[in-house]
Amino acid sequence: MNNNFPKHIAIIMDGNGRWAKQRGLKRTAGHEEGAKVVRDITTHCGKLGVEFLTLYAFSTENWSRPKLEIEFLMKLLEKYLTNELEVYLQNNVRFQAIGDISKFSNALQKRITLTQEKTAKCTGLTQILALNYGSRNEITRAVQKLVVQNLAVNEENINSCLDTAHIPDVDILIRTSGEVRLSNFLLWQSAYAELFFVQKYWPEFTSYDLDDIIDDFIKRERRFGSV
Ligand code: FPP
């Protein structure tokens, strides 16, 4: 495989609500359509040989949405993980979650843990869902762990206390829907990531769009601060 091929792709899946509004549908219809794209892109990354795909599914800031939308997203997540188990196993996909899942219902927490356990031996793509995730929250929790364990505050120790401890840095960070910001997503891990901002809303994003981004990435020269 090409040396420049990305190991870790991260995506801010934005624009579900606007996609739905444009079609006179409820915002929740956009999330449902978005969940289908999650499956397509995961399968595609697995086939391409990408090792890690991290998807921003629910942020620490998303709790400020209307209660009904939050409830819908929680149910959709639980349904998705339940239905997806067979697909993960068939496609040799390992599932992991990052973020503070202790704020979710017991049923959802159990479903997340079960999916992690059942797919733990899969050796293909690792799909990571960021759930109740925010970088500042993650870095704060990491520093708290260092203090409790009386460890030195240095980059290596902070890295090993992050939720992403055993996951390589992000190579490609994509955001859909035309918004150009990082919204508290993988700030530490994306220090040297190549950024791609796509106009399409998440429900319209296809594996062809991802192929174009990967082609572009392979052509870019990454100097990591060197000359
Ligand atoms: C942003 O769209 C999307 C989210 C807040 C959540 C992402 C959720 C999904 C893609 C569907 C469910 C995911 C899984 C893994 C089953 P938005 O609502 O902010 O859209 P808007 O900016 O147009 O309002």
Residue range 134-150, pLDDT digits in tens? 999 999 999 999 999 99
Prediction pTM value: 0.96
Say whether pLDDT at 1 is over 70. no
> What average pLDDT does the chain have?
97
- CB under 8 Å to 65, separation ≥6 — which residues? 73
Beta bridge mates, 194: 172
**Tokens 């000359």 label which residue?**
227
Give one DSSP letter per residue of 62-73, joined into a string.
GGGS-HHHHHHH
150-156: long-range contacts at Cβ-Cβ below 8 A with a sequence spacing of 24 or more? none
**Coil, helix or strand for 170?**
coil
CA–centroid distance, residue 118 to ligand 1 (Å): 26
Residue 225 — very low, low, confident or very high, per pLDDT cuts 50/70/90?
confident
List pLDDT tens digits, range 114-124. 999 999 999 99
Task: Report residue 150 as tokens.
Answer: 């009386």
Ligand 1 pocket, residue 80 CB under 6 Å: yes
The pLDDT of residue 3 = 73
> Could you tell which of 11, 12, 13 is best to mutate to test the pocket of ligand 1, judged by most ligand atoms within 8 Å of the CB?
13
Please confirm, yes or no, whether 132 is among the known catalytic residues. no
Pocket of ligand 1 contains residue 13 by CB under 6 Å: yes
Structure tokens at 135: 């970088």
Residue 59 alpha carbon to ligand 1 centre in Å: 10
**Residue labelled with tokens 């509004």:** 21
Nearest of 176, 219, 125 to residue 14 by alpha carbon:
176
Is any ligand 1 atom within 6 A of the Cβ of residue 15? Answer: yes
Taking only the tens place, the pLDDT of each residue in 169-185 is 999 999 999 999 999 99
Task: For 28-58, write each residue's pLDDT tens digit.
Answer: 999 999 999 999 999 999 999 999 999 999 9
Domains and CATH numbers, the chain: 8-218 (3.40.1180.10)
- Tell me the average pLDDT across 19-25: 98
Least confident of 87-91, 139-143, 153-157, 219-223: 219-223
Q: How far apart are CA 16 and CA 61, in angstroms?
A: 16
Under DSSP, the state recorded for 203 is: G
> Does the pLDDT value for residue 221 go beyond 80?
no
Q: How far is 227 from 219, CA to CA, in rounded Å?
A: 17
Distance 31 CA to ligand 1 centre (A): 5
Report the distance separating Cα 40 and Cα 36, nearest Å: 6
Q: Is the CB of 129 under 6 A from ligand 1?
A: yes
- Please say whether the beta carbons of 46 and 123 come within 8 A: no
Q: Quote the pLDDT of residue 93.
A: 98
Give the pLDDT of residue 76. 98
Q: Report whether 60 contacts 137 (CB < 8 A).
A: yes
Please report, as a single letter, which amino acid is at residue 208.
Y
Instruction: Write the pLDDT tens digit of every residue in 188-219.
Output: 999 999 999 999 999 999 999 999 999 999 99
Judged against a pLDDT cut of 80, whether residue 125 lies above it is answered with: yes
CA–centroid distance, 71 to ligand 1, in Å, is: 13
4: annotated active-site residue: no
CB 52 within 8 A of CB 11: no
pLDDT value at residue 226: 80
Query: Is residue 133 within a helix (H) or strand (E), and if so which, with residue range?
Result: strand 126-133
Q: Check pocket membership of 34 for ligand 1, CB cut-off 6 A.
A: yes
Tell me the angle at which helices 27-48 and 207-219 cross, rounded to the nearest 10 degrees.
Answer: 50
